[in-house]
Amino acid sequence: MDLGLTDRVYVLTGASRGLGHATAQCLVADGARVVLSARDADAVAAAAQRLGGPERAVGLAADLTDPKTPGQLVAAAREHFGRLDGALISVGGPPAGKAAQISDEQWRQSFETVFLGTVRAVRTVADALPEGGAIGLVLSTSARGPVPGLGISNGLRPGLVGVAKDVADDYGPRGVRVVGLLPGRILTDRNRELFAATGDPERARAEAEATIPLRRIGDPAEFGRVAAFVLSPAASYLTGITVPVDGGALRGL
């Protein structure tokens, strides 16, 4: 299938590694060009170089907690590649812990990064997109069902699903799409850290895999391919929905 990605341009946040970088790899492999952002300047520069350098990818050191960041990303796409067709908005997972035990300060910090940073980026990018543009939000299966030990994620991710639906309604008449992506257990650094925090990562992984119908942890590329499709013109009639990429772990229909 031709996804129609040739020479289209996408901004991806949190894309020096993990799910954002996996999506960037899939987009570039199908002919797109990308602007990557992450907080670590060296890491994002190296990530852009791995994707082919300035002809295919550029990196920008940026933090979504800074209100100026979304506008800078839009400007970078236009400056380097002359257009912008969409974005994948991803931020790092918030601290683990039970909701009843998390401090006010942790809630505030996570709201600024995970929630407000995402909302600001979606709003800014959506305003800049032409007809046919698309935004994907990297959320979590916690948006549909609480994940034990991830209280902040359980609290904030469902709200972002509501925001995505609201924005999809607003921008749909302009031909701009917004889709939430719900990764489950995928072998990123984040999941490695969560497994390690249990004190017995091998056992934690085995227990997690036992709850997944496919009986394995996902590979980042498996998420990246879904995200690239959702952002592409081939998915032109998908908007206002959430797409689980979880090996069948969610039990809701």
Number of other CB atoms surrounding residue 99 within 10 Å? 14
Which pLDDT belongs to residue 92?
Answer: 76
Take residue 243 and report the two structure tokens written for it. 């797409």
Which pLDDT belongs to residue 252?
Answer: 85
| Contact between residue 34 and residue 21 where contact means Cβ atoms under 8 Å apart | no
pTM score? 0.94
* Angle CA 131–11–177, to nearest 5: 35
Nearest by Cα to 73 from 4, 9, 167: 9
| Contact between residue 41 and residue 19 where contact means Cβ atoms under 8 Å apart | no
- Nearest-angstrom CA–CA distance, 171 and 107: 30
- In sequence order, the 6+-apart residues with CB closer than 8 A to the CB of 111 are 156
Which pLDDT belongs to residue 153?
Answer: 92
pLDDT digits (tens, 9 = 90+) for 18-34: 999 999 999 999 999 99
* Phi, psi torsion values for 161, nearest 5 degrees: -60, -40
What length is written for the chain?
Answer: 253
Which pLDDT belongs to residue 9?
Answer: 98
- Nearest-angstrom CA–CA distance, 73 and 122: 12
- Regions in the chain scoring below 50 on pLDDT: none
- Nearest-angstrom CA–CA distance, 157 and 98: 15
